[in-house]
Amino acid sequence: MRKRTVKILTGVAVIVVALGLWYAIAVMVSASKLRRAYAALEKDGRPMRAADILPPKISDIGNGALLYESAAFLLKVQSSPAMNQPDSREHDLLGYMSARASEFMAGTLDPNKQAEFRQLTEKETVTSALSAIKQGTQCPACRFDCDYDHGASMNPHLVDLKNLARILAAKARMEAEAGRSEAAWDIALAQAKMADGLRAEPIIVSQLVRMATVALSCSTIQKLCSATLPGNPQYDGLMSLLDTIEDVRPLVRAVDGDRLLSGEWLFTLPKGELYKQLRQIIFPSYWSETACRLQFHVITFEPFFLSDHAAYLQLMRKHAQFLEQPFSIEQRDNLEKEWLAVPRRYRLTHTLMPAMARIKDIHCRVVADVRITRTGLALLRYRETHGNFPETLDALRLRDVSDPFNGKPLVYRSDGRGFVVYSVGEDLKDNGGNPRQPKLKTDYDILWRFPSAETR
């Protein structure tokens, strides 16, 4: 009996020692992966500290962000006309006007609501808000007071900016329809400048909002040209801004910013704080405390956790590299496959990096929009000067009229009365200038047709 006990204890001891050795080796291997991931980032010259990517502090005097915030505040403290409607979620004037502006631009706003919207834009509060935005665009700098110490929850101003941009777009078109050309183009220029106010924010969601607002600005410019053309000051201002607004560096910096301010912040949190965060962003609300604790221990098991961290850094490095390179479907698909191949136990990598490879698509679409808009404006100015459209885009002498998707020149055709200029888009196929249709994911081009189908 005693010998049997000794054998059992010896066996247990061997198992414990073997598990200990396995654990130690697994930790060493995972730690080595993490060190190599950091070394690769340093070799690429990527920023390694949050201080390296944070925008510099600026004085309140000359800070356009404060004026944008005051414009949003003026509208948010006003009750909306739908305040007392039981099903309405637009309780303040900013949200209400933004929703009506979207409907107006989509052509779905009924005549009664259009009349109401026009009246709202003439209210003193609204004109004061629009005036504050214009003053903000004239400031030499723009920095919102973001709390960069608390991970991803640091961008409360972004929804307000999107709402203001929609209102500006609708207001510009209304001014053009009323024959107030200069006012319309002043608003369009202010909208474009406000969009670029997010350029310095080192967060991906901020840059996505910036790109969406830039795309809206391009749409506004193209719509206005159907009614009126910009004067010299507005034309020069728009062309100068569009020439720089497509820069990919803010987006690359945002990838580094998300890595340092969100990813690294989360991976280096004390375990108690990390559990609180994962309880909010990963674990389903219906899970019991016991289930959450068990899953947390699996996620933070040291070999898994270190490997998870290394996988995250490696993928973020590759995404930053991908953004700096020409568009490639193959590279994009390879990145998506690499992300999907990450073991599911690496929960933080999967949570922090949803569909990151598709950000390149979004950026290239916006660059295409910007280049098409800049080219179209130059074509209309050329016709004003020479009486007709040029045979080729070379006559415009623009800095860059290449398609960001394939590197070839944008496709351009003119029938004498108008023109179409377009990019082949992410499918890399020339679809003959076929515009995107609702629910259509492929077989379309990114284009500007002048005059538009509605005005022909």
Q: Please, which residues have CB within 8 angstroms of residue 288's CB and are 6 or more apart in sequence? A: none
Cross-strand partners of 141? 63
> What is the pLDDT at residue 16?
75
Reading the block at residue 80, the tokens are 């909306």
Q: Dump pLDDT digits (tens) for 88-99.
A: 566 789 999 999
> What is the pLDDT at residue 183?
94
Q: How many CB atoms lie within 10 A of CB 279?
A: 15
Rounded Cα distance between 16 and 12, Å, is: 6
Rounded Cα distance between 310 and 255, Å, is: 16
- HEC states along the chain? CHHHHHHHHHHHHHHHHHHHHHHHHHHHHHHHHHHHHHHHHHHCCCCCCHHHCCCCCCCCCCEHHHHHHHHHHHHHCCECCCCCCCCCCCCEHHHHHHHHHHHHHHCCCCHHHHHHHHHHHCCHHHHHHHHHHHHHHCCCECCCCCCCCCCCCCCCCHHHHHHHHHHHHHHHHHHHHCCCHHHHHHHHHHHHHHHHHHCCCCCHHHHHHHHHHHHHHHHHHHHHHCCCCCCHHHHHHHHHHHHHHCCCHHHHHHHHHHHHHHHHHHHCCCHHHHHHHHHHHCCCCCCCHHHHHHHHHHHCCHHHHHHHHHHHHHHHHHHHHHHHCCCCHHHHHHHHHHHHCCCCCCHHHHHHCCCHHHHHHHHHHHHHHHHHHHHHHHHHHHHHHHCCCCCCHHHHCCCCCECCCCCCECEEEECCCCEEEEECCCCCCCCCCCCCCCCCCCCCCEEEEECCCCCC
Nearest to 216 by CA among 165, 160, 164: 165
* Band of pLDDT at residue 357, cut at 50, 70 and 90: confident
Long-range (24+ apart) CB contacts under 8 A made by 391-394 are 393/421
Q: What is the mean pLDDT of residues 142-164?
A: 81
For the chain, how big is the Rg over CA atoms in Å?
27
Reading the block at residue 334, the tokens are 């390879």
Q: Please, which residues have CB within 8 angstroms of residue 258's CB and are 6 or more apart in sequence? A: 202, 203, 204, 316, 352
List the single range of 93-102, 139-148, 309-318, 351-360 with lowest mean pLDDT. Answer: 351-360
pTM: 0.90
> What is the pLDDT at residue 145?
86
Q: What is the mean pLDDT of residues 122-143?
A: 93
> What is the pLDDT at residue 281?
85
Is 90 exceeded by the pLDDT of residue 165?
yes
> What is the pLDDT at residue 86?
53
* Band of pLDDT at residue 282, cut at 50, 70 and 90: confident
Burial of 57 (0-12, 13-18, 19+ CB in 10 A): exposed
61: left (phi over 0), alpha (psi -120 to 50) or beta: beta
> What is the pLDDT at residue 21?
82
Q: Please, which residues have CB within 8 angstroms of residue 145's CB and are 6 or more apart in sequence? A: 65
* Band of pLDDT at residue 283, cut at 50, 70 and 90: confident
Is 70 exceeded by the pLDDT of residue 84?
no
Q: Dump pLDDT digits (tens) for 173-206.
A: 999 999 999 999 999 999 999 988 899 899 999 9
Tokens 């284009």 identify what position? 447
Q: Dump pLDDT digits (tens) for 199-234.
A: 989 999 999 999 999 999 999 999 999 988 999 999
Q: Dump pLDDT digits (tens) for 418-429.
A: 999 999 998 899
Rounded Cα distance between 382 and 376, Å, is: 10
Q: What is the mean pLDDT of residues 409-413?
A: 95
404: left (phi over 0), alpha (psi -120 to 50) or beta: alpha
Cross-strand partners of 421? 412, 448
Nearest to 311 by CA among 252, 356, 277, 376: 356
Q: Is the peptide bond before 270 cis (omega within 30 degrees of 0)?
A: no
Is 90 exceeded by the pLDDT of residue 433?
no
Cross-strand partners of 446? 423
Better-scored residue on pLDDT, 125 or 440 = 125
* Residue 126: CA count within 13 A, CB half-sphere: 21
Better-scored residue on pLDDT, 154 or 415 = 415
Length of the chain: 456
Rounded Cα distance between 401 and 379, Å, is: 12
Rounded Cα distance between 324 and 66, Å, is: 32
> What is the pLDDT at residue 5?
76
